[in-house]
Amino acid sequence: MSSRPPPHPVPQLRVTVHRARDGRLGGPEEDAVVVEEPLEVRLGERSLLVTMRTPGDDPDLVRGLIFTEGLVARPEDIVGVTACRDVPDEARGNVVAIGLADGVELDEARTVRAGLVNSGCGVCGKTTLDAIHATSDPVSAGPVVAPAVLARLPQSLRDGQAVFETTGGLHAAGLFTADGKLLSLKEDVGRHNAVDKVIGEAMRFGRVPLVGTLLMVSGRAGFEIVQKARRAGIPIVCSVSAPSSLAVQLAEEGQQTLVGFLRGGSFNVYSGPQRIASRPVG
């Protein structure tokens, strides 16, 4: 990834709010909120799933979602994502169809499970742990990163969140090089969607597995964040908040480095400390 593509504009809606200050409720003011709408994914005439998302980067979102959820085995199994035109006007822009390579079939069991995905939570609604384990090999050794590089990631992520500054309602996922260069940043109301968009973009350019990269996410590092990163071969996953116990377990099993509470120059390493330099690198 030698260059970072221009960000896709994230849609916002102007609304009327009443702000409370100093114990008093003020008059009406105009404010911005991020748009959330359903996206239906089809295979031919068949509806596969519906997921809530922030419109924008939909093809990358769908590529990333279908791959990281284990519905297909390889990035190249997906040969296209196109907007459906033969839909009612009110659904226009919110229905896409995927194309699969010859001989490729979806994993039907995982297709059912992926239909439960929504913008707020990736693990909610899943019935068993076995159902949410996507088959993935452990990640490669990957880079060794200086603590100072990690310390810069949260601000780099925040600096790239133009829409967050006006709405406060978006999660972000950023893909970085081992020396802290931002390669890709995506925003969405769902943190899992933001990760899928980053991975889907890399798939579109044939850059998966992402063996030399770091993933930085806003919010907490849950099981599915680590799972999606592992599917894409990302060796280091960082979060500004806490990981879950299942996220730590999966990171250890996949030989990933998992960093949490990354803020203000401090952080915790929950697995894979060998990738964090004990002294400055270089």
Between 1 and 87, whose confidence is greater?
87
Residue 30 lies in a domain: no
Which of 132, 167, 189 represents a domain boundary (last residue)? 132
Is 22 a member of any domain?
Answer: no
pLDDT score of 113: 58
Q: Are residues 118 and 158 in the same domain?
A: no
pTM of the model: 0.81
d(Cα 175, Cα 157) in Å, to the nearest integer?
9
Is the Cα dihedral 86, 14, 54, 59 positive or negative? positive
Q: Are residues 97 and 202 in the same domain?
A: no
What CATH number does residue 234 fall under?
3.40.140.10
Number of domains in the chain: 2
Residue 153 belongs to some domain of the structure: yes
Where among 132, 156, 178 does a domain terminate? 132
Highest mean pLDDT among 69-73, 232-236, 267-271: 232-236
Is the model's pLDDT at 20 over the cut of 60? no
- Higher-scoring residue by pLDDT: 115, 44: 44
Asked if residue 4 has pLDDT above 60, the reply is: no
Residues belonging to the active site: 121
Least reliable range by pLDDT among 56-60, 62-66, 181-185, 246-250? 246-250
Pair (157, 113) in one structural domain: no
Question: Based on the domain organization, do 122 and 159 belong to the same domain?
Answer: no
Crossing angle of the two packed helices 223-231 and 191-204, in degrees rounded to 10:
0
The predicted-structure confidence for 77-111, as pLDDT tens digits, reads as follows: 999 999 998 888 878 888 999 999 999 998 876 66
Phi, psi (rounded to 5 degrees) for 256: -95, 155
Instruction: Residue 159: give the domain boundaries.
Output: 147-275
- Long-range interactions of 145-149: CB distance < 8 A, separation 24+: 145/178, 145/214, 145/236, 145/275, 145/276, 145/277, 145/281, 146/277, 146/280, 146/281, 146/282, 147/267, 147/276, 147/277, 148/280, 149/178, 149/179, 149/180, 149/281
Looking at the structure, tell me whether residues 83 and 116 fall in a common domain: yes
Same domain, 152 and 258: yes
- Where does the pLDDT of residue 173 fall: very low under 50, low under 70, confident under 90, or very high at 90 and above? very high
Could you tell me if 262 and 150 are in contact, meaning their C-beta atoms sit under 8 angstroms apart?
yes
**Which pLDDT value is given to residue 118?**
46
Provide the pLDDT confidence category of residue 264 given band limits of 50, 70 and 90.
Answer: confident
For residue 120, pLDDT beyond 60: no
Residue 197 has pLDDT above 90, yes or no: yes
The answer, yes or no, to whether residue 126 has pLDDT greater than 60, is no
Q: What is the pLDDT of residues 130-166, one digit of tens each?
A: 444 445 789 999 899 999 999 999 999 988 876 555 5
Partner residues linked to 91 by β-bridges: none
Task: Tell how far CA 208 is from the center of its chain.
Answer: 14
> What confidence tens digit (pLDDT) does each residue in 22-68 have?
766 677 888 776 777 889 999 988 888 888 888 889 999 999 999 99
Higher per-residue pLDDT: 101 or 252: 101
How many separate helices (H) and strands (E) can be counted in the chain? 8, 12
- Which helix (H) or strand (E) covers residue 166, if one does? helix 162-167
**Mean pLDDT of all residues belonging to the chain:** 82
Query: What is the spatial distance between Cα 188 and Cα 147, in angstroms, rounded to a whole number?
Result: 28
Of 72, 102, 132, which one is at a domain's C-terminal end? Answer: 132
Percent of all residues in the chain with a pLDDT value above 70, rounded to a whole number: 79
Q: Do 45 and 123 belong together in one domain?
A: yes
Query: Is the predicted pLDDT of residue 236 greater than 90, yes or no?
Result: yes
